[in-house]
Chains A and B, each alone.
Chain A
Amino acid sequence: MSKRKAEETQTDKMATAEKVPQNDYTIGLEDPVKDYQKLIETRVQVDEIVDDDVTKENFDRTAASARDVIWRLLFDSEAATTTQPSNVEKATQLLEEYRGDACFYDPTPYNEWIVKLRDEVLRKELLDFWREVLVKKQLGPCWSRDCDLFDSDDTPPLEFYAHAGCTAPFAASLKVRAEQDAQSEVPEVPTTPGELSADDTAALSGDFEAVLTKEKPLEEYRSLMKRFVLTKIIVPDNVHQASVKKMAAAAREIIWKLLFDGTPSPEDQDKAAELLQEYKGDAGFYGPDDFNEWIVKLRDEVLQRELLDFWRDKMVKMELGPSCARDSDYYDNEDPLPLEFYERAGCKAPFEATTEDD
């Protein structure tokens, strides 16, 4: 742990708990839910760091106040007649609100008290309230259905609801679940890793033929790369590098053949340019030194053979010169751009020199 002290937070501690009049946890009968929510917001759900004991104490007092008000709303015979509908409504809302918080902060006192409330409700024969509110809205004891302090090993509060001809609304689903517990084991799918494929074995040893033909050099290059270089298995670096070099040599060789075995057709020039672009991209990733050296030789040969279309439309336009910061992470903006490479046969580099800021 760092030696830095949490002094700021420490001095803030309990601040919120002391800003308010200490012992006033009044919930009025006018709008009890609003009063209750305000107490929770200001004294319990505080976003600063407060001692948990303080928070717990504050919640317990708020809860006690809420229980008291609910009891009075339901059983104080102020009107001496049956309890007013508006009071029952208020009690219902506050009970729901309080129970939701009790599930999170402190279910035990709620679970004990709600039994007493039920008994009093049944004794006073407030059966509508029992059926429509306590049972239907499932406002009995908190349990694993609504509270993370319980789990499926705990006994569900079925018994609580089994009064005055009612049953727990969740009784049926528990029955279904009990039946499912006699579950059958599903046979397992074997997950043993398979043997290495032939390609992976070759990739691991670097033992593969890299030959490209004039027909489809780009597709062949890609497929060989995929099979023997871009594998998912872990290959030692030296083997991997040798494989990359082997592929690069094959690409250079077939490009040379396409261009310089006699006069190249436009198709062959296209094929050569496509493969050259792909090879340049890979070289920019795997290490561009070989490419940068060879591409100068290729350029000189192209110009000597006066393949000016290939020079202008492919090499210059497609930016197939030396690898640089524009296309490879081997370089950064402090490295000089290869402008000079392109300054032949009246051409210029297809990009601007980087302007110096300083």
Chain B
Amino acid sequence: MSGRRVGSVLALSATALGAFYLGSHVERERRNGGSANSLPRLPGLPTFGTVSAASLIPAQEANVSLAATPSRIGQIMKYGFPGLDHVRSHSDYVLSYDRRNRVPHWVFEHLTAESVAKNEAVDRAKCDFRQDESIHPFFRSQNTDYRRSGYDRGHMAAAGNHRLHQKHCDETFYLSNMAPQVGQGFNRDAWNTLESHVRKLTKSYSNVYVCTGPLYLPHKEEDGKTYVKYEVIGANTVAVPTHFYKVIVGESADHKLHMESYVMPNQVISNDTPISVFQVPPESVERSAGLLFFDQINRKQLTTINGKKV
């Protein structure tokens, strides 16, 4: 009874909000005369995307959406937003941008066996690292910041995770999806191994959800005090994170949920280090990041965390 009331109130308020934003958007467009000198806008949050954890999303996607549709965002963000700062939606991943550090706070992806499969129609070599023009120029990172900085333009949402369409892959090359990563021994090796591992999980789980982002972890110095210290590169002072995390949830065919969580230091890691060494309790990542991952899942509902029964 009351459930239906709440539902109708929600529907009404959603419609009102939608109308308001649509109206203000139209007005804004009119004021700008559709001008070319305004920043392109991307949808932030899905307004009408209903996100429910009650049903499994079918792994088979009939059609590939090339726009950030509410339904696709709803799918990706099924288990909750880690935070709501400057959320940007792309056609196949969602990003929260840290304007102060010029790198993401987090990116969220939803992978299936299909979306990570080799696809002749998608060529990574065709992609270019590009500045994200939807970010205000003050807070944009650029190629010049990274050139000869000693760091790679490290993807947070990996290109290899988005192979349903060339456009999906292209969109992972926005510099807003990058953070400075140590190249040899990390970005192109150990971190890449972790990315491959996440892709391989689609063999065991029908849906894989992964949140990736930077950390700026403190360390104790000789005076016994603890400091957070990190380099910033280029004219735009892009932050070089000390560590990166991935928190992953796999949905198995029998509706069971399995979580894995990793933290890797942004430094050369020898090739013979198994990635399991970098597994940490998910709550430790949450504390350090200032974010909550998969907040819609009660940790008690998980079948395993980092391979161990809960």
- Contact residue among B39, B143, B187, B192 (Cβ-Cβ distance under 8 Å from A1): B39
Comparing A19-27, A63-71, A143-151, A331-339, the segment that makes contact with chain B is A143-151
The residues of A that contact B128 with a CB separation of less than 8 Å are 52, 56, 106
Complex partner residue of A150 from B137, B188, B308, CB under 8 angstroms:
B188
Q: Which residue on A lies nearest to B191, using beta carbons? A: A151
B47 on the A face (CB < 8 A): no
0/1 string, A166-199, CB within 8 A of B gives 1: 0000000000010010011110101101000000
Chain A proximity mask over B48-90: 1 for CB below 8 Å, otherwise 0: 0000000000000000000000000000000000000010000
Contacts of B138 in A (CB 8 A): 6
Closest B residue, CB atoms, query A45: B144
The answer for the CA separation of A56 and B137 in the assembled complex, in Å, is 19
Partner among A3, A104, A188 whose Cβ is within 8 Å of the Cβ of B307: A188
Complex-state Cα separation, A233 to B9, whole angstroms: 41
Shortest beta-carbon distance, B142 to chain A, in Å?
A: 7
Q: Does A2 lie within 8 Å of B188, measured CB to CB?
A: no
Stretch at the interface among B205-213, B270-278, B292-300: B270-278
Q: How many residues of B contact A (CB 8 A)?
A: 47
A49 & B140 in contact (Cβ 8 Å cutoff): yes
Contacts of A5 in B (CB 8 A): 37-39
For window 152-168 of chain B, which residues contact chain A by CB distance below 8 Å? 152-154, 160
CB distance from A33 to the nearest CB of B (A): 16
Asked if A237 CB lies within 8 Å of chain B CBs, one says: no
The main secondary structure of chain A at its interface with chain B is loop
User: Which chain A residues numbered 25 to 76 have a C-beta less than 8 Å away from chain B?
Assistant: 45-47, 49, 52, 55-56
Total A residues in contact with B, Cβ cutoff 8 Å: 38
Q: Are A153 and B192 in contact (CB-based, < 8 A)? A: yes
Taken together as a complex, chains A and B put the C-alpha atoms of A142 and B308 apart, in Å, by: 41
Bitwise, B28-47 to A at CB < 8 A (1) or not (0) is: 10000000011101000000
Once the chains bind, are B136 and A4 in contact (CB under 8 Å)?
Answer: yes
* Interface membership of chain A positions 145-162, coded 1 if the CB is closer than 8 angstroms to chain B and 0 otherwise: 100111111000000000
Number of A-B contacts (CB under 8 A): 89
Known contacts A45-B144, A52-B131; is A191 also within 8 Å of B276 by CB?
no
A49 to B271, CA, bound (A): 38
Q: Contact at A148–B154, with CB atoms within 8 Å?
A: yes
Residues of B within 8 A of A267 (CB): none
Q: Considering the complex, give the chain B residue whose CB is closest to the CB of A55.
A: B143
Instruction: Determine whether B235 belongs to the interface, using a CB cutoff of 8 Å to chain A.
Output: yes
Quick check: B160 and A10 within 8 Å, CB to CB?
Answer: no
User: Residue B265 at the A interface, CB < 8 A?
Assistant: no
Answer yes or no: A108 CB below 8 A from chain B CBs: yes
A152 with B189: CB separation less than 8 A: yes
Taking the complex as formed, is A352 at the interface, i.e. its CB lies under 8 A from any CB of chain B? no
- Determine if A10 and B188 form an interchain contact, defined as CB atoms under 8 angstroms apart: no
Q: Shortest Cβ distance from B97 into chain A, in angstroms? A: 10
Asked whether B277 lies within 8 Å of A186 as measured between CB atoms, the reply is yes
State in angstroms the CA–CA spacing of A9 and B140 once bound together.
12
Chain A residues with CB under 8 A of B147: 45, 104
Would you call A261 an interface residue if the criterion is a C-beta within 8 Å of the partner chain's C-beta atoms?
no
Contact A191 B160 (CB under 8 A): no
Query: Would you call A7 an interface residue if the criterion is a C-beta within 8 Å of the partner chain's C-beta atoms?
Result: yes
State how many angstroms separate the Cβ of B150 from the closest Cβ of chain A: 11
Q: Which of A293-320 contact B (CB under 8 A)?
A: none
Q: State whether B39 touches A6 (Cβ < 8 A).
A: yes
Q: Provide the residues of chain B in CB contact with A108, threshold 8 Å.
A: 125
Chain B residues contacting A7 (CB-CB under 8 Å) are: 37
State A56–B173 Cα separation when bound (angstroms).
15
Q: What separation, in Å, do the CA atoms of A151 and B175 have in the docked complex? A: 18
Supposing A45-B144, A153-B192, A186-B277 touch, asked if A6 and B137 sit within 8 A by C-beta, the answer is yes
Given A185-B276, A188-B276, A191-B280: A10 and B136 interface contact (C-beta under 8 Å): no
- Determine how close the nearest CB of chain B comes to the CB of A15; give it in whole angstroms: 14
With A49-B137, A56-B128 given, is the CB distance from A186 to B188 under 8 Å? Answer: no
Known contacts A49-B137, A144-B188, A185 near B41 by CB under 8 Å: no
Contact of B130 with A52 in the complex, beta carbons under 8 Å: yes
A residues with a Cβ closer than 8 A to B are 1-7, 9-10, 45-47, 49, 52, 55-56, 104-106, 108, 144-145, 148-153, 177, 180, 183-186, 188, 190-191, 193
13 contacts between A and B (CB under 8 A): A1-B41, A7-B37, A45-B144, A45-B147, A47-B235, A105-B143, A145-B184, A148-B154, A153-B192, A185-B276, A186-B274, A190-B308, A191-B280
Give B contacts to A, CB under 8 Å. Answer: 28, 37-39, 41, 86, 124-125, 128-131, 134, 136-138, 140, 142-144, 146-148, 152-154, 160, 183-184, 187-189, 192-193, 196, 235, 271-272, 274, 276-277, 279-281, 306-308
Q: Besides the contacts A1-B86, A6-B136, A191-B281, what 4 more A-B pairs have beta carbons closer than 8 Å? A: A52-B143, A148-B183, A150-B188, A180-B272
Q: Give the top 9 A-B pairs by smallest Cβ distance, nearest first.
A: A148-B152, A144-B188, A151-B192, A9-B137, A6-B137, A151-B188, A52-B130, A180-B272, A10-B37
